Amino acid sequence: MNADRFLWVVILGLGTGVGLIMWAHEAGGLAGLSASELAHLVFYGAILLVVGAGAVALFTGRIGEMIGAALIWMAIFAVIATGYTYRYELHAAAYRVLAELAPGYAVPLARDSGPAVEVARARDGDFNVRVEINGTRIPMLVDTGASSVVLTPEDAVAVGLPIEFLRYDIPIDTANGRGRAAAVVLDRVAIAGDIDERQVPALIASPGTLKHSLLGMTFLSRLDSFEIRGEKLVMRAKVVQ
């Protein structure tokens, strides 16, 4: 195997290792290993590759190529290790850029004081956020004046609720006037995977009552805090002791 081919094998191996680390970080683990444990495996794997490269070079008599290749591989691993060390900061920076380009995208913040997300104000002045309800993401308007989470019938169908069996017997006030809604309990309401609440009381508005689903106080009141900082809305989950 020549040096160039061996270098490509190393790059492919390290790239695969980084991909597995990122997958484990998002999924909470992979094959029983945490992201940190996988990072250690990639580290030791990189060392073995360098040692292997040295052995190959020694047997082929190309010491200079071996040293050069080893330096390249170590530099690659140093970049990967630095990226992993600052993964939360890099992850947040990337999401911040995305939030500016696509308002409504929740940006996970540093976990120093518990899970938190940040949402940029939309051009219309409201805070819209993509919320995962029962495993399905839908756009919702953050409304601190709404006493409950309220879904439109269309969004209720999208998240798998059987609206044909509901009774719209609860009066509600909306921007369009008085309306009626049906009471339900949502199994799971999550934002960006960081803020996650279970068994959240909610309402489903009768057809034609609302244009957008509302993220109201039955969810917001469960947070440790939510505040507006300029053009950003910061929501912070309670830390479970």
What mean pLDDT comes out for the span 214-221? 95
pLDDT of residue 28: 53
**Residue at token pair 């609302």:** 210
188 vs 108, higher pLDDT: 188
Report the pLDDT value the prediction gives residue 231, as an integer from 0 to 100.
79
Q: 142 versus 33: which is more confidently predicted?
A: 142
- Whether 191 has a pLDDT exceeding 80, the answer reads yes
Q: What average pLDDT is seen over the chain?
A: 76
- Angle between helix 87-101 and 63-85 (nearest 10): 60
* Mean pLDDT, rounded, for 40-54: 63
Supply the pTM of this predicted model: 0.59
Count of Cβ atoms closer than 10 Å to residue 234 Cβ: 16
Cβ neighbours of 9 (radius 10 Å)? 14
> Comparing 126 with 205, which gets the higher pLDDT?
205
pLDDT value, residue 1:
47
Q: For residue 131, which amino acid is it? A: V
pLDDT for 64 equals 59
Tens digit of pLDDT for each residue in 100-159? 666 667 777 766 667 888 888 887 788 899 999 998 999 999 999 899 999 999 999 999
**pLDDT score recorded for residue 173:** 83
User: Residue 193 pLDDT more than 60?
Assistant: yes
pLDDT digits (tens, 9 = 90+) for 173-183: 877 778 899 99
Domain ranges (residues) in the chain:
3-85, 104-236
Please report the pLDDT score of residue 214 as a whole number: 95
Q: How confident is the model at residue 7 (pLDDT cuts 50, 70, 90)?
A: low
Pick the CATH number of 104-236 from 3.90.1150.10, 3.30.70.120, 2.40.70.10, 3.50.50.60: 2.40.70.10
